[in-house]
Amino acid sequence: MKLNRKWLRTVICFGLVTALAFSFVACGRDKQEEDPPTPKPPVQKMEIADYVKSLSEDEYTVENLTDSYGLSDPANVGVRKEGRSKGMYEIPADSQFSEDAIFDVEDYISKGKSDTEALTAVINDAKDFQKNGGKVKIKLPDRDLNIDRNSSGLADTTYTLSVAGFDGLYIQGGENTVLTINTGSSWLGGLSFTDCTDLHLENVRLDYSVLPALAGTVKASDKDALTVTMTVPETQQASLAALSSSQALGGTLYSYIEYDQYTSAPKEGGAFLIRDENVFESVTFSAPATVTVKFKESYRSSFTKPRNGDIVALGFAMYGKNGINFSDCKDVYVENCAVYTCPGMAITVSGVENFYANRFDVALKDDRIMTATADGYHLQACLGEVKITNSIIENTHDDALNIKSGYYYSLNTVDPVARTLTISKKTGAIALPKAGETLKVYAQTDFAERGSFTVESAVAEGASYVVTVKERIKGDVDWTKCVVTNVSAVPRFTFSDNIVRNKRNRGILVQIPGSVVENNTFENVGQGAIMIHSSLDIFNEATMPSDIAVRNNKLINNGYLLYNALRGSIAVFAIAEGGIVAPSGTVSGISIENNFISNSGNAGISLRGVGAPDSAISSNLFYNTGRVSASEMTECAVELENVNEIELVNNYNYNTLGSETFVGINTAGTTDTKTIVLKDNYNLRYKEYDGEVPQIDVFKLDKDVIKIDGDISDWNDVGTAIEMNGSSLATGDEINPADYADVFGVEVARIAWTDEGLYFGFKVRDNKPDYASVLDFWNGDCVEIFMSTVIDMPNADMQLYRNKGDVLQMAFAPTWAGGFTFGNSRTSDKFIDGKAQMRVAVKTVSDGYSGEIFIPFTLADGMKTCIDEGKPVAMAFIFADADRDELNRKRLQVGNVPHFVENYKTKTEKMPQFNFKNGQK
């Protein structure tokens, strides 16, 4: 209040002085002089709630925002609206072409040809004209054109219209031009351009006469019968009739996705099912407007009746038959075009050098609920520039956009003398590397960089490439199990002023370096908005996406479909084989600035494997992030896993959800907070540690009470029971023990000690054992033990300090040689080197498996020192049950740490501390 009064006094004094000055001046000045303008009143501070509301009202930038609340340029956040009405690549007027180089489809139609025949003839005549050189212009009628597969002289096995070999092709429609594809009794792609240079499209839109996805309004559902019955609107009844009459069109249901009837966005908490999940029993069509889906018995436990009136997208196609395709072209320009639907990806771009698209939409039409049945844009192996601007991508089944340069190759052999690398395809093919390009080699197991090489020459030998490099190949590097990627064969990618909304899967996937994502709006994107990543998974898509700017974007209500959702609305990560997060700095040069991130399901921003140089999170406004989070780890504004040497500067975190577990910044893995710069942030802090964990006393046994043979009968009333405290699914959901008690249970879990070492015994009841290998034990049934004498770094992953004390991660299963393995990244080297001293026996029993473990103090001398000094040792005991497809349930972990078990088992924050006592209990 004192400040307000002081301000008021200053204004009053200034006003009086000014008034007196003007009165004196006015007495002596010329009467024709005008009075100076009245000073503007001081700008009033906008409250944060009103500020957030203004930013959230629509997709576009907001003028007159006072204050910043973290944002460095608040008036420049969101889509710049004027771009939707401005052309960037408009086709020149007819006067810019020779008269005989203009081909008007309407002229051909007037001579008795059908739409399809006329367009086919025009393309063929234009191609003949180009044999003598010169650009050509094709003019399309300003109306719907019926393009029939059976009448198309340009149809092939993939596309209804295949256009190839042009140099200087300009295709121009009008404001109402739509190519409506009729593929007959089976699905086929729409329009394809191959081996074209200087290609221009303007005002061309693509649609299908038979829709590959219906929008059904729920009118009834029956939990006992496992059925949902829907009606489709009148505009889709002809499609329903066509689907019902053709096995190739409507015989297979590929997807069932529930949408909210009020927002047209995928429904939070709704069903999102695809054919691969094997839950569809049948689809029944009833003319003219009814369709019923019946689910299999295996889906009963997951079946939830939808609300009457909700919308369901029923997809009868998914991949393979794309809308508009560009392959092996150069200098492609697209202006004010659209794909309304297609039985596959809407727009595919492969091997194109320089691709420019402005107002190239994947957009809803009429009363539909799905556009493409797969991705919106899918771009691969492009060069030069790729720019996508001022476009709308909405309601696609899969990703709105995926851009990648190619695939990781396996490193087969290395010859340091000849300076050669022999590489071969893992999943997809890449072009033969060229001289001067740069190849990077990464360890497949953890994505650690092994080397960077300049190509001197490359030759194909059978299915492999043999690459000679300029640099010396070090002989002391472990080149086994490595992958190779070409980091030079990538385009410069810009994605700006686009709207991505109301879709099931992710927004954009950026898998190339040197990209800019700016002034876009992502809204209601179910599994997360922006994914910048590289992963060694089943796809092995490359390359490492460093040096990327994400700025001036609005991200509103994304990532709320928690199953398979990104860990943040903006998620940047590198994942090696088996889901291992890459070391810090594997991804670098990441700048995330001046973004508004609101109501995200998980974290606002998630970084994993990111670090120096030049990575920063700055001037962002976070509002109610982590609102339905998959776990406490992502119930935050910022998640940092294996992240070091970055800056978080001038960010503002505003959270009104009242959650006791929400935190500004969550850390995990090898993240070392001492290397991270925090400066001028508001309400953005690390998790505070309360230090309260269960204290458990373990009393010493006499020697030779326990025999290590896997038979736990000698544990009756021996040692200390380990109580289970948390039960979690891999999806992040907590599960009640009663919900799995009939198939799985921890019957015995006990710990003891003697002067010689530590003893553990366990018995697991499991009606369906499903063990993975020691290379991927985290996917199957097993028992894990985590132990640490380091307890003063509670928020850090054990990886960070594994050699600063006695730190151990072991896993046990009866099918492994020796019965156990180490988690090397969380185990002190001395345990790995002294593996032979461990005594382990694990065996199968009639209803599961049991085991006994002895860890000698000759190896665990640090633990013995803690015992002698009366200090506790932190320990977590985890019992895992693999995926249960028959129960529609993901992998379960039960442990003595709380839910979410996966997060708390690898750090001591919530890990019980065991105090080893002399004497009997």
User: Do 375 and 454 reside in the same domain of the chain?
Assistant: no
% of the chain at pLDDT higher than 90: 82
Q: Is residue 666 part of a domain?
A: yes
pLDDT tier at 870, thresholds 50, 70, 90? very high
Cβ atoms within 10 Å of 114's Cβ, excluding its own = 15
pLDDT digits (tens, 9 = 90+) for 453-484: 999 999 999 989 999 999 999 989 999 999 99
Cα 66–Cα 47–Cα 650 angle in degrees, nearest 5: 65
User: Do 121 and 141 reside in the same domain of the chain?
Assistant: yes
Of 679, 713, 741, which marks where a domain is finished? 679
Q: Are 779 and 800 in contact (CB under 8 A)?
A: no
Q: Is residue 103 part of a domain?
A: no
Q: Compute the distance between CA of residue 526 and CA of residue 514 in angstroms, rounded to an integer.
A: 26
Q: Are 617 and 648 in contact (CB under 8 A)?
A: yes
pLDDT of 911 higher than 60: yes
What local confidence, expressed as pLDDT, does residue 10 receive? 36
User: Do 718 and 591 reside in the same domain of the chain?
Assistant: no
Cβ atoms within 10 Å of 394's Cβ, excluding its own = 23
pLDDT tier at 168, thresholds 50, 70, 90? very high
User: Do 656 and 532 reside in the same domain of the chain?
Assistant: yes
User: Do 291 and 234 reside in the same domain of the chain?
Assistant: yes
Q: Compute the distance between CA of residue 725 and CA of residue 877 in angstroms, rounded to an integer.
A: 10
User: Do 763 and 886 reside in the same domain of the chain?
Assistant: yes
Q: Compute the distance between CA of residue 675 and CA of residue 585 in angstroms, rounded to an integer.
A: 12
Joined together, the tokens standing for residue 136 give: 């050509």
Where does residue 738 rank: exposed (0-12), middle (13-18), buried (19+ CB within 10 A)?
exposed
Q: Compute the distance between CA of residue 595 and CA of residue 73 in angstroms, rounded to an integer.
A: 9
pLDDT tier at 23, thresholds 50, 70, 90? very low
pLDDT digits (tens, 9 = 90+) for 584-613: 999 999 999 999 999 999 999 999 999 999
Q: Which of 846, 860, 858, 844 is nearest to 812 (CA)?
A: 844
User: Do 155 and 178 reside in the same domain of the chain?
Assistant: yes
- Report CA-CA distances (Å) from 283 to 2, 134, 222, 279: 72, 53, 15, 12
Residue predicted with more confidence, 261 or 361: 361
pLDDT of 25 higher than 50: no
pLDDT digits (tens, 9 = 90+) for 821-861: 999 989 999 999 999 999 999 999 999 999 999 999 999 99
pLDDT of 872 higher than 60: yes
Ramachandran area for residue 354 (φ above 0: left; ψ -120 to 50: alpha; else beta): left
pLDDT of 151 higher than 60: yes
Q: Is residue 840 part of a domain?
A: yes
Mean pLDDT of 861-889: 95
User: Do 464 and 544 reside in the same domain of the chain?
Assistant: no
pLDDT digits (tens, 9 = 90+) for 267-289: 999 999 999 889 999 999 999 99
Q: Which residues contact 197 (CB under 8 A, 6 or more apart)?
A: 166, 167, 168, 329, 330, 331
Best-predicted range by mean pLDDT (23-27, 52-56, 563-567): 52-56
Q: Is residue 74 part of a domain?
A: no
Q: Which of 195-204, 534-543, 866-875 has the lowest average pLDDT?
A: 534-543
CATH number at residue 862: 2.60.40.1190
Q: Is residue 87 part of a domain?
A: no
- What is the domain count for the chain? 5
Joined together, the tokens standing for residue 563 give: 């199953």
Tell me 156's DSSP state.
-
- Domain span at residue 280 reads 213-315
Residue predicted with more confidence, 905 or 64: 905
- Tell me if residue 418 falls in helix, strand or coil: coil
pLDDT of 34 higher than 60: no
Query: Which amino acid is residue 500, in one-letter code?
Result: V
Q: Which residues contact 863 (CB under 8 A, 6 or more apart)?
A: 758, 787, 789, 806, 855, 857, 873
Q: Which of 354, 710, 387 is nearest to 517 (CA)?
A: 387
Q: Compute the distance between CA of residue 461 and CA of residue 550 in angstroms, rounded to an integer.
A: 41
User: Do 860 and 712 reside in the same domain of the chain?
Assistant: yes
What local confidence, expressed as pLDDT, does residue 38 receive? 52
User: Do 699 and 755 reside in the same domain of the chain?
Assistant: yes
pLDDT tier at 691, thresholds 50, 70, 90? low
Cβ atoms within 10 Å of 871's Cβ, excluding its own = 14
Supply the DSSP string of 431-464, one letter for each residue: PPP-TT-EEEEEETTT--EEEEEEEEEEEEETTE
Of 486, 515, 550, which marks where a domain is finished? 486
Mean pLDDT of 117-132: 96
User: Do 903 and 764 reside in the same domain of the chain?
Assistant: yes
User: Do 446 and 385 reside in the same domain of the chain?
Assistant: no
What local confidence, expressed as pLDDT, does residue 690 receive? 65
Q: Is residue 60 part of a domain?
A: no
Query: pTM here?
Result: 0.84
Q: Compute the distance between CA of residue 838 and CA of residue 834 in angstroms, rounded to an integer.
A: 8
Q: Is residue 46 part of a domain?
A: no
Q: Is residue 282 part of a domain?
A: yes
CATH number at residue 257: 2.40.30
Of 679, 714, 729, which marks where a domain is finished? 679
Mean pLDDT of 348-371: 97
